[in-house]
């Protein structure tokens, strides 16, 4: 049913290794197919609404924050750059639950070329009955712990797409951390842990593995809610000539939130774009700056954002065409009858009803 990944190792970076851990994707497939079997011959309602992987509001106090300007220079020493991203989307509703799809992508840059590994899409039928089972099975498979052990409550039905995608993302990150050597691993988001989908222990393990192979994790957040004197941290201090970093020291997260990285504002190219950048706390400060300078010398940067990470996002994002294809697949393979329930917003408010997603 499932295939062993046929990934050829690149001699220089030894990435990804043939002996890559495949138990998670296998479990994903098994669970995916198992969950879909229960949905056979049912009517399902198409849904245009997509799940955004919303960042939870960061419970971090930026009280007495000190800023330190760090100018950067490009370092051209050849360094592997790899990035991971995942996405999830709701593709429909059934009478008992929701149909979701998740997909993940790893991108790595080899000399001047980018390569990709894309996993998925994995389609799940999540119901109130099976959501715990699905989530726990996936957790157990890879992290050897169930959600119940850590939390009192299980993720709600509508949290499931992001949670499953998150699980896949952590797995991909861990895989990269075990396969790339002397490289830069780019994460999408921050290194904030202790929140529901990012337990501290798990994140620490990933970072530990990364350091063991002399890699540095650079986590870029597209959006941040961190503010300094009422302004978003990415909107202040744009007066310097890029590329540069600003280190924000003295940030105090509210427990149980833990910052596993030090927070920086990175403005790497001309233009008014800056991003929050988290760099592993346990990496020496000099190495952090060196890593960013290596990123400048080894990856394309457009609007201050690394191309490798941008590609990872592009490769995992679902297009409308793919959503239609997945709906077609489900309808064909599992004989689901597509129904169109009326949109109550449209029904009640006519042209003033903008649909559920905009409610």
Q: Which residue, 146, 118, 137, 116, is CA-closest to 32? A: 137
Tokens describing residue 80: 């592997």
- CB 40 to other proteins: min, Å: 15
User: Does the footprint of other proteins cover residue 328 (CB under 8 A)?
Assistant: yes
With CB under 8 A as the contact rule, the residue among 140, 322, 339, 353 that binds other proteins is 322
Q: Does 113 bind other proteins (CB under 8 A)?
A: yes
Q: Check binding of 261 to other proteins (CB under 8 A).
A: no
Among residues 97, 120, 161, 183, the one that binds other proteins under rule CB under 8 A:
120
The residue from 89, 186, 326, 336 that contacts other proteins (CB under 8 A) is: 326
265 forms part of the interface with other proteins (CB under 8 A): no
Per CB under 8 A, the list member of 321, 340, 342, 350 interacting with other proteins is 321
Burial code of 296-329, b = ≥16 C-beta within 10 A, e = fewer? Answer: bebbebeebbbbbbbbbbebbebeeeebeebbeb
Select the residue interacting with other proteins from 319, 340, 350, 358 (CB under 8 A): 319
Interface stretch with other proteins, choices 167-175, 237-245, 267-275, 328-336 (CB under 8 A): 328-336
Asked if 81 touches other proteins (CB under 8 A), the answer is: no
31 binds other proteins per the rule CB under 8 A: no
Beta strand 66-71 with 60-61: parallel, antiparallel or unpaired?
Answer: unpaired
Question: What gap in Å lies between CA 204 and CA 209, rounded to an integer?
Answer: 9
Is 5 a residue that touches other proteins (CB under 8 A)?
A: yes
Work out the burial of residue 174: count CB atoms within 10 Å of its CB; fewer than 13 is exposed, 13-18 middle, 19 or more buried.
Answer: buried
- What is the Cα–Cα distance from 240 to 333, expressed in whole angstroms? 57
Contact call for residue 335 and other proteins (CB under 8 A): no
Q: Which two tokens stand for residue 66?
A: 């000190």
**Residue closest to 44 by CA, chosen among 359, 250, 328:** 328
8-state DSSP, 242:
S
Least CB distance from residue 121 to other proteins, whole Å? 6
Decide: is 65 part of the binding site for other proteins (CB under 8 A): no
Q: In DSSP terms, which residues pair with 227 in a beta bridge?
A: 232
CA 312, 313, 315: angle at the middle one, nearest 5?
65
- Pick one of 116, 133, 252, 257: the residue that binds other proteins (CB under 8 A): 116
User: Could you tell me which stretch among 129-137, 214-222, 288-296, 325-333 binds other proteins (CB under 8 A)?
Assistant: 325-333
CA 146 to each of CA 35, 41, 160, 296: distance values in angstroms, whole numbers, following the listed order: 19, 32, 15, 40
Smallest distance, other proteins to C-beta of residue 172, A = 11
Q: How far apart are alpha carbons 318 and 121 in whole angstroms?
A: 9
State the minimum distance, in angstroms, from the CB of residue 209 to other proteins: 21
Identify which of residues 119 and 263 has a Cβ nearer to other proteins in the complex. 119
User: Which candidate, 132, 138, 147, 148, places its Cα nearest to that of 102?
Assistant: 138
Q: How far is the CB of 8 from other proteins (least distance, A)?
A: 9
Name the CA radius of gyration of the chain, rounded: 21
Measure the CA–CA gap between 110 and 37, rounded to whole angstroms.
41
- According to CB under 8 A, which one of 19, 320, 337, 342 is a site residue for other proteins? 320
130 contributes a contact to other proteins by CB under 8 A:
no
- Considering only 92, 97, 121, 161, the residue that binds other proteins (CB under 8 A) is 121
Rule CB under 8 A: say whether 249 interacts with other proteins: no
Instruction: Decide: is 340 part of the binding site for other proteins (CB under 8 A).
Output: no
- What is the contact surface with other proteins in residues (CB under 8 A)? 1-3, 5-7, 25, 28-29, 32-33, 113-123, 311, 314-315, 317, 319-326, 328-329, 332
């Amino acid at each position: 049913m499932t295939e062993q990944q046929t990934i050829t190792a690149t001699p220089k970076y030894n990435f990804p290794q043939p002996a890559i851990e495949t138990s998670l994707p296998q479990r994903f497939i098994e669970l995916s197919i198992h969950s879909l079997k229960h949905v056979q011959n049912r009517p399902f309602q198409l849904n245009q609404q997509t799940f955004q992987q919303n960042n939870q509001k960061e419970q971090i106090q930026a009280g007495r924050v000190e800023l330190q300007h760090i100018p950067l220079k490009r370092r051209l020493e050849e360094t592997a750059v790899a990035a991971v991203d995942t996405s999830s989307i709701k593709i429909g509703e059934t009478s008992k639950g929701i149909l979701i799809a998740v997909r993940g992508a790893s991108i790595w840059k080899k000399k001047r070329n980018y390569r990709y590994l894309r996993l998925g899409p994995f389609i799940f039928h999540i119901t109130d009955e099976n959501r715990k089972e699905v989530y726990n099975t996936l957790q157990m498979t890879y992290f050897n712990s169930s959600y119940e052990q850590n939390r009192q409550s299980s993720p709600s039905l509508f949290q499931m797409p992001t949670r499953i995608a998150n699980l896949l993302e952590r797995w991909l990150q861990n895989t990269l951390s075990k396969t790339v050597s002397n490289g830069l691993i780019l994460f999408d988001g921050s290194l904030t842990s202790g929140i529901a989908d990012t337990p501290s222990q798990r994140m620490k393990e990933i970072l530990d593995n990364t350091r063991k192979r002399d890699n540095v994790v650079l986590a870029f957040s597209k959006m941040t809610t961190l503010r300094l004197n009422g302004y978003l941290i990415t909107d202040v201090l744009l007066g310097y000539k890029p590329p540069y970093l600003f280190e924000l020291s003295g940030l105090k997260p509210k427990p149980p939130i833990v910052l596993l990285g030090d927070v920086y504002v990175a403005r790497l190219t001309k233009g008014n774009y800056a991003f929050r950048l988290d760099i592993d706390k346990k990496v020496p400060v000099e190495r952090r700056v060196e890593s960013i300078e290596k990123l400048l010398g080894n990856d394309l940067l457009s609007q201050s954002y690394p191309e490798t990470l941008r590609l990872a996002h592009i490769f995992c994002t679902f297009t409308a065409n793919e959503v239609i294809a997945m709906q077609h697949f489900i309808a064909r393979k599992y004989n689901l009858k597509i129904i169109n329930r009326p949109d109550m917003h449209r029904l009640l408010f006519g042209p003033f009803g903008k649909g559920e997603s905009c409610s």
